[in-house]
Homo-oligomer: A and B are copies of this chain.
Amino acid sequence: MIRATTVFNDLVGRVADRGRSLMGTTAPRSVVQMCDTLLTGKGEATGLALARAIFDRYDGMDWAAKHDFFTMLRDRFGVDRERTETALRHWQEGDETALRDLHIASEPRSQELIRRLNRAPGGTRRLVAMRNDLLHLMGEDSALALLDADFRHLFGSWFNRGFLELQRIDWQTPANVLEKIIQYEAVHEISGWDDLRRRVAAPDRRLYAFFHPALGDDPLIFVEVALTAGIPGDIGAILAADRQMTDPARAQTAVFYSISNCQTGLRGISFGNFLIKQVVEELGREWPNLTTFVTLSPVPGLRKWALAHRDDLPTYLADTVTAAEDGKRPITLSDLTAHYMLTARHSRGGATDPVARFHLGNGARLERINRDADASANGQKASWGVMVNYLYDLDTIERNHEAYSGQGEIIAAPPVRRLLKTR
């Protein structure tokens, strides 16, 4: 159990150290100069050291300095105009193949800089942290989005699904990984180690995560699964400490009751779709008795939308909103939810509810609406306690996905559809 895994990582560090000592002979340099040197590609030993030195310098910066740093990256390491114009000229002179050269010539130099930073010990991890900051700063300065496109492009390529590893997390998992799961759970908070144990070690509970080799034991995304008899309509029953166990060999339903992205620095790089489908396969193989794969999902946009559109709603639904705001949970909350899910549209097309957009986009079907499904403060505030189930049926996923993404059709089970027509 004594581990040697970090031996070579240390070595990489030492290569960097050596490079640094070489660098030390020259006067202290600005981070701009360091980036220049890294990009123009002096020797590789210095390359590793330089990359690390830039990260270290960066880590010492305050927000204002980081903002300057990113702005510098964007402006100083932009596209090479001259090269671009040359390629452009060749193309316009009739060389069609120059169109591909144009792409190469117009690559922002910041991309190569990021690739070289990635060579440093722990480079990928530090770049993900760096982008996390960048996303934060973009909230104030949207012009940084130009630079973020580089990160996003490279991360999309590096975190290609072909490089991810699915792993089951259970009670034999090292504590440092489990601790991260507690921290990262974003949907239904894990209240401590006892709660965690219930979610990973009970025979009718599973937790699966995607990992990337360059991030080591830091997960990218994970999903929590409950094996149950039927489709559940209440998150409280799933999370309860004193619930009854289900024998997995007799369960018929696998419920995805929580999906959490772990790395905010990877925002916009999508893993959830792959994760759910692979876990469906894994569970189906292990427990052939499972016939139904559903989520138990929040409806985060329901209340906000309903309040905003109260005046446009049919009277009985407007009344439902009023009643719900008064603390009542009338049966027509289901009708209201169906109305929201099936008729409200996002400005860019598709469903307006963000969770719905994810699952419908994956090809799942809106299966059921559950009132009084979430007693938590969050659940009450977002949707008066309403939750829904999305069904993952591998045999219809493809068709659903096409109908949704092609014609914008929102696939829902007949009982949900019927709620639209009520009254």
Residues of A within 8 A of B (CB): 1-5, 7-8, 11-12, 14-15, 18-19, 22, 42-46, 48, 78-79, 81, 84, 88, 97, 99-100, 102-104, 106-108, 115, 118-120, 123-124, 143, 146, 149, 153-154, 156-158, 160-163, 165-169, 171-176, 178-179, 192-193, 197, 213-214, 273-274, 277-278, 281-282, 285, 362-363, 394-395, 397-398, 401-402
The smallest C-beta distance from A18 to any residue of chain B, in angstroms, reads 5
Cross-chain contact B394 with A281 (CB below 8 angstroms): no
Cross-chain contact A97 with B146 (CB below 8 angstroms): yes
Task: Name the residue on B nearest A92 (C-beta).
Answer: B88
Task: Name the residue on B nearest A157 (C-beta).
Answer: B157
> What 6 A-B pairs have minimum CB-CB distances, sorted nearest first?
A43-B401, A4-B4, A103-B106, A213-B213, A1-B167, A118-B162
Q: How far is B213's CA from A45's CA once the two chains are assembled, in angstroms?
A: 23
Cross-chain contact B398 with A273 (CB below 8 angstroms): no
A167 partner residues in chain B, CB cutoff 8 A: 1-2, 8
Q: How far is B2's CA from A278's CA once the two chains are assembled, in angstroms?
A: 14
Q: Which of B43, B100, B171 contacts A402 (CB 8 A)?
A: B43
Q: How far is B156's CA from A163's CA once the two chains are assembled, in angstroms?
A: 15
Q: How far is B178's CA from A18's CA once the two chains are assembled, in angstroms?
A: 32
Q: Which of B8, B107, B174, B394 contacts A282 (CB 8 A)?
A: B8
Q: Which of B100, B124, B174 contacts A174 (CB 8 A)?
A: B174
Cross-chain contact B178 with A11 (CB below 8 angstroms): no
Q: Which of B102, B146, B278, B362 contacts A79 (CB 8 A)?
A: B102
Q: How far is B361's CA from A43's CA once the two chains are assembled, in angstroms?
A: 8
Cross-chain contact A99 with B81 (CB below 8 angstroms): yes
Which residue among A103, A166, A179, A402 has the maximum number of chain B CB atoms within 10 Å of its CB?
Answer: A103
A395 partner residues in chain B, CB cutoff 8 A: 22
Q: Which of B4, B14, B45 contacts A2 (CB 8 A)?
A: B4
Task: Name the residue on B nearest A41 (C-beta).
Answer: B405
The smallest C-beta distance from A169 to any residue of chain B, in angstroms, reads 8
A-B contact list, 24 entries, CB within 8 Å: A1-B168, A1-B169, A2-B5, A2-B8, A2-B168, A8-B167, A43-B402, A45-B394, A48-B161, A97-B146, A99-B106, A103-B107, A103-B108, A118-B161, A119-B161, A157-B157, A158-B160, A158-B163, A162-B214, A171-B175, A172-B175, A175-B175, A175-B197, A213-B213
Cross-chain contact B108 with A100 (CB below 8 angstroms): yes
Cross-chain contact B100 with A281 (CB below 8 angstroms): no
A97 partner residues in chain B, CB cutoff 8 A: 143, 146
Cross-chain contact A103 with B103 (CB below 8 angstroms): yes
Cross-chain contact B1 with A173 (CB below 8 angstroms): yes
Cross-chain contact B160 with A157 (CB below 8 angstroms): no
Q: How far is B213's CA from A104's CA once the two chains are assembled, in angstroms?
A: 28
Q: How far is B118's CA from A107's CA once the two chains are assembled, in angstroms?
A: 22
Cross-chain contact A397 with B43 (CB below 8 angstroms): yes
14 further contact pairs, Cβ within 8 A, besides A8-B166, A103-B103: A2-B4, A2-B8, A14-B281, A14-B285, A15-B278, A15-B281, A18-B394, A22-B398, A79-B99, A79-B103, A115-B156, A119-B162, A163-B214, A172-B176
Q: A157-B157, A162-B120, A277-B15 known; A45 and B397 CB under 8 Å?
A: yes
Task: Name the residue on B nearest A16 (C-beta).
Answer: B281
Q: A79-B99, A99-B79, A99-B84 known; A42 and B175 CB under 8 Å?
A: no
A124 partner residues in chain B, CB cutoff 8 A: 162-163
Cross-chain contact A173 with B173 (CB below 8 angstroms): no
A179 partner residues in chain B, CB cutoff 8 A: 171
Q: A167-B1, A167-B2 known; A274 and B44 CB under 8 Å?
A: yes
The smallest C-beta distance from A308 to any residue of chain B, in angstroms, reads 32
Cross-chain contact A398 with B11 (CB below 8 angstroms): no
Q: A3-B4, A158-B157 known; A278 and B12 CB under 8 Å?
A: yes
Q: A118-B160, A192-B193, A282-B11 known; A173 and B175 CB under 8 Å?
A: yes
A278 partner residues in chain B, CB cutoff 8 A: 8, 11-12, 15
